[in-house]
Amino acid sequence: MKKVLSLLLIIMLLCTVVITGCSNDGGDTADPTGGDNTSKDYLDDIAIAEVNQADKYRNYYQIWIGSFCDSNNDETGDIQGIISQLDYLNDGDPETDTDLGVNGIWLSPMMPSVSYHKYDVTDYYNIDEEFGTLEDFDQLIAECNKRGIRVVIDLVLNHISSRHPWFAKACEEVKAGNFDGYAKYFEFVKSNTMPGEGYRQVSGSDDLWYEGNFTYEMPDWNLSSEATREEFKKISKFWLDRGVSGFRLDAVKYFTNDHTDSVEFLEWYCSMCREIDPDVYIVGENWVGTGEIYETYKSGIDSQFAFKFGNTDGTFIMTAKSGNLGKKTINQMKRNIENIKENNPDAINAWFLTNHDMTRSANALKKLADRKMAAALYLLSPGCTFTYYGEELGIAAPNTTNDASYRTPMVWDSENLPDIYVPGVDGVEAPEQGGVKQQLENEDSLLNFYKRVFKIKNQNPEIARGTITDTVEFDDNAVGAYYVEYEGSKLLIIHNTATDSEKTLTITESIMKNSAIRGDLIAGDPATDAEGNTVKQEITLQDGQLVMPAQSTVILKAE
């Protein structure tokens, strides 16, 4: 008991540190739902599943470091800022539900770079001084380990910065006719005309070119060169030895050229990393059609982002807006997973709504109910999920004309907006429901909805880890249902995406015998009765009759 008490004291002390640690946080997070809440007994009765620390199935949270939390008031978010907010993401204690419930982080680029976005790296073995030091990073990893949070870092293997000393040396060498020195790391071509799309002229020469698919400042690495691969091995080992759990590989689409095949390269890269750490998790940003994504899974890569389903015109957001889920979309999702597994049986799909390269989901989803519905749709899909910071608050981009506007500061407290610099964006606007502090206190907030989804996911490991074994058709275009099965345990997930109508569905014995509600989510707004009073919506299951309010989700399991 003494031990428990002192542990509690330590946790309380830690909480105090956290609240004062970031200048923009504050407030009591002890009772987020304000007493009379929506949670049902079973949410409290069901334990959070204890998953293996090496398990790759995670609720990831994408952090744009410069915009997340600024610990030293220099108008740039930093690693100490992230550390100060880890208890918001996951406090490591399954008994509490004041935290979001994610158990993985994807960190945007953090290595030294001259650009704001830091996707052009000048040193692969350090932390940009704007964000902190390697010691700060080691501390972050240690704090994440305490909380069971795995850290995946952005790794840019397609290109480098033109300011990297190796590229400057390579340019001097090729101008002197030497293509065997540093030039081996890059894609130099001697030609009187432009050798192909994406090539740039070497400064101070008439007939020397290098591949640089993005800009002059980002020369492409030569991914077929033995020298490059030796260097990539060193870089990957350096970070895996420091405790990262894996990598988010940037710009996979551009890996292929006339002498590099991205599948061959990724096959080499993934097996090389697995020799260093057998549990490494690698997720690729391959912004192409589904056919090419399936092909790339042949490399053995763990995950690739499901671009067809994400983005503001993707399946999840369009379905939440239209209320038209139906069997077609569910079957599409089922086939998508099957096609991936056919090419790599161990593959894990990576679902998301939006990321740092897209207009924010809140710009496309104007209604709170639609934002909640979209969250239920993607977060309950089997595989890993990636939530872009601030998406759980409904942060919208102030405009859609520059990329930086998708990366505005995290709003911890809407009454105390952060002073963080974002290029081309003046001032910060708070989401309609306020920041973290305000939304924790609001039972109907988007944030509390996200917390509930993550809690249900963490209680039911079948959701992330299972495969869709079959679908159920209810003859209703707004209703979609599928079974997920994992280690002999079977769940039935049913979404009613209709924006304005309650559905009564018959759960026959052949659909699921002795079924009971294992989790419920109501995205739709509360109804009003004849007197104009708010009526709490509820999902009920009695004598095989399942009543689902507009925009709701239920998870059933046989008792």
8 Å CB contact between 519 and 493 = no
Of the two residues 82 and 89, which places its CB atom closer to Ca ion in the complex? Answer: 82
The nearest distance, CB 413 to Ca ion, in angstroms, is 17
The nearest distance, CB 414 to Ca ion, in angstroms, is 21
Using the contact rule CB under 5 A, the part of the chain among 75-83, 246-254, 264-272, 544-552 near Ca ion is 75-83
Tell me the CA distances in angstroms from 313 to 76, 253, 287, 328, 372, one per residue in order. Answer: 31, 20, 14, 17, 17
Q: Does residue 128 touch Ca ion according to CB under 5 A? A: no
The single residue among 25, 78, 220, 520 that binds Ca ion, judged by CB under 5 A, is 78
Q: Does residue 136 touch Ca ion according to CB under 5 A? A: no
Burial status of residue 46 (CB atoms within 10 A of its CB: 0-12, 13-18, 19 or more) = middle
Of the two residues 20 and 534, which places its CB atom closer to Ca ion in the complex? Answer: 20
User: What x/- string results for residues 15 through 54 when contact with Ca ion is judged by CB under 5 A?
Assistant: ----------------------------------------
Alpha carbons 540 and 544: distance in angstroms, whole number: 10
Tell me the number of residues near Ca ion by CB under 5 A: 5
Residue nearest to Ca ion (CB): 78
Of the two residues 76 and 296, which places its CB atom closer to Ca ion in the complex? Answer: 76
Of the two residues 74 and 313, which places its CB atom closer to Ca ion in the complex? Answer: 74
| Closest of 59, 56, 153, 147 to residue 104, by C-alpha | 59
Of the two residues 118 and 495, which places its CB atom closer to Ca ion in the complex? Answer: 118
8 Å CB contact between 90 and 149 = yes
The nearest distance, CB 130 to Ca ion, in angstroms, is 7
The nearest distance, CB 24 to Ca ion, in angstroms, is 12
Task: Centre a 10 Å sphere on the Cβ of residue 355 and count the other Cβ atoms it contains.
Answer: 24
The nearest distance, CB 425 to Ca ion, in angstroms, is 17
The nearest distance, CB 70 to Ca ion, in angstroms, is 4
Of the two residues 99 and 136, which places its CB atom closer to Ca ion in the complex? Answer: 136
Using the contact rule CB under 5 A, the part of the chain among 71-79, 150-158, 439-447, 541-549 near Ca ion is 71-79
Of the two residues 41 and 129, which places its CB atom closer to Ca ion in the complex? Answer: 129
3-state secondary structure of 171: helix
Using the contact rule CB under 5 A, the part of the chain among 72-80, 307-315, 377-385, 544-552 near Ca ion is 72-80
Alpha carbons 19 and 533: distance in angstroms, whole number: 37
The nearest distance, CB 149 to Ca ion, in angstroms, is 21
The nearest distance, CB 298 to Ca ion, in angstroms, is 42
The nearest distance, CB 75 to Ca ion, in angstroms, is 7
The single residue among 33, 62, 67, 76 that binds Ca ion, judged by CB under 5 A, is 76
End-to-end, the C-alpha distance of the chain in Å comes to 35
Q: Which two tokens stand for residue 276?
A: 């260093």
- 358-387 residues near Ca ion, rule: CB under 5 A: none
Of the two residues 85 and 158, which places its CB atom closer to Ca ion in the complex? Answer: 85
Of the two residues 78 and 87, which places its CB atom closer to Ca ion in the complex? Answer: 78
Contacts for 341 with CB less than 8 Å, ≥ 6 apart: 347, 467
Contacts for 263 with CB less than 8 Å, ≥ 6 apart: 295, 296, 298, 299
Of the two residues 68 and 254, which places its CB atom closer to Ca ion in the complex? Answer: 68
Alpha carbons within 13 angstroms on the beta-carbon side of residue 46 total 19
Q: Token match 């190796």: residue? A: 166
Q: Which two tokens stand for residue 264?
A: 């061959």
Pairing label, strands 246-249, 281-284:
parallel
8 Å CB contact between 247 and 152 = yes
Q: Does residue 74 touch Ca ion according to CB under 5 A? A: yes
| Closest of 216, 344, 332 to residue 271, by C-alpha | 344
Alpha carbons 11 and 91: distance in angstroms, whole number: 9
Of the two residues 133 and 225, which places its CB atom closer to Ca ion in the complex? Answer: 133
Contacts for 9 with CB less than 8 Å, ≥ 6 apart: none
The nearest distance, CB 136 to Ca ion, in angstroms, is 11
The single residue among 6, 16, 72, 205 that binds Ca ion, judged by CB under 5 A, is 72
The nearest distance, CB 517 to Ca ion, in angstroms, is 46
Alpha carbons 537 and 534: distance in angstroms, whole number: 9
The answer to whether the Cα torsion of 361, 365, 371, 376 is positive or negative is negative
Using the contact rule CB under 5 A, the part of the chain among 52-60, 64-72, 302-310, 479-487 near Ca ion is 64-72
Q: Which two tokens stand for residue 159?
A: 């290109």
Of the two residues 110 and 174, which places its CB atom closer to Ca ion in the complex? Answer: 110
> What is the DSSP-derived secondary structure letter of residue 406?
G
Using the contact rule CB under 5 A, the part of the chain among 67-75, 89-97, 433-441, 551-559 near Ca ion is 67-75
Contacts for 462 with CB less than 8 Å, ≥ 6 apart: 484, 485, 486, 487, 489, 490, 491
The nearest distance, CB 261 to Ca ion, in angstroms, is 42
Of the two residues 76 and 162, which places its CB atom closer to Ca ion in the complex? Answer: 76
Q: Does residue 70 touch Ca ion according to CB under 5 A? A: yes
Residues of this chain that interact with Ca ion (CB under 5 A) are 70, 72, 74, 76, 78
